[in-house]
A and B are shown apart, each in its own frame.
Chain A
Amino acid sequence: QKEVEQNSGPLSVPEGAIASLNCTYSDRGSQSFFWYRQYSGKSPELIMSIYSNGDKEDGRFTAQLNKASQYVSLLIRDSQPSDSATYLCAVNKEETGANNLFFGTGTRLTVIP
């Protein structure tokens, strides 16, 4: 079983719609959860972090965490063409004092004008 699983997509939504990206993780001991955005040919950019159950909002982005279900999601409201990118879910797993981050394979999002 992979540490972090995401639907690879592609996910296509019309401009102005809500894009919903999902991620599940295998280790119940995971404490920290992150969403990175990666444009084609660029490096990952941190857009959201979440550490406790519930929702966390930042502008058009909302991260949702459910530790009981081992599930993390990212909602993008009022999607824009500039949101078209691959979204990587990452989960922190502390092991022997190391801050290890495990990434999913990413979900490619296309926002259609």
Chain B
Amino acid sequence: EAGVAQSPRYKIIEKRQSVAFWCNPISGHATLYWYQQILGQGPKLLIQFQNNGVVDDSQLPKDRFSAERLKGVDSTLKIQPAKLEDSAVYLCASSLEWGTEESYEQYFGPGTRLTVT
């Protein structure tokens, strides 16, 4: 079974530029998550989708971050304009649709390492 796919793997941009990340979840996983992981910290949830609807975006800095999940499969996360403090690894995860204990288990993609200079 293929895992969560993400691209690009690395990105270097200057502050005030824009950047977009792409994620394809595990086949059949209805729930998709975007996390930000700053060096030395645990991942922090930015936004959660159930199919193509947003379930929780309370921690997403909406003045500069946006995300969408059209058609309930792939998702993109965008930052515009980027700040130095956005340097982090952006992780996408997916899980089954809620209803069983297994649906709480989240599986991560390889991540995108973003450096803002």
Which residues of A come within 8 Å of B, CB atoms? 4, 31-32, 34, 36, 42-46, 49, 51, 88, 90, 92, 95-106
Contact with A along B97-117 (1 / 0, CB 8 A): 010010111111111000000
Number of A-B pairs whose CB atoms are under 8 Å? 60
The smallest C-beta distance from A29 to any residue of chain B, in angstroms, reads 14
A101/B110 in contact, CB under 8 A: no
User: Which residues does chain A contribute within 8 Å of B31, judged by CB atoms?
Assistant: 99
Q: Which 10 A-B pairs have the closest CB atoms?
A: A103-B42, A98-B56, A43-B108, A32-B104, A98-B55, A43-B111, A44-B108, A103-B43, A105-B42, A92-B104
B48 beta carbon closer than 8 Å to chain A: yes
Using a CB–CB cutoff of 8 Å, the interface residues on chain B facing chain A are: 31, 33, 40-45, 48, 55-56, 89, 91, 95, 98, 101, 103-111
Give chain A's interface secondary structure class.
Answer: strand
In the complex the two chains form, what is the Cα distance from A32 to B107 in whole Å? 15
> Bound state CA distance, A42 and B107, in angstroms?
13
Q: A99-B31, A99-B98, A99-B103 are in contact. Are A104 and B42 (CB under 8 A)?
A: yes
Q: Which chain B residues lie closer than 8 Å to A42 at the CB level?
A: 110
In the bound complex, what is the Cα–Cα distance between A96 and B55 (angstroms)? 8
Which residue of chain B has the shortest Cβ distance to A96 in the bound complex? Answer: B56
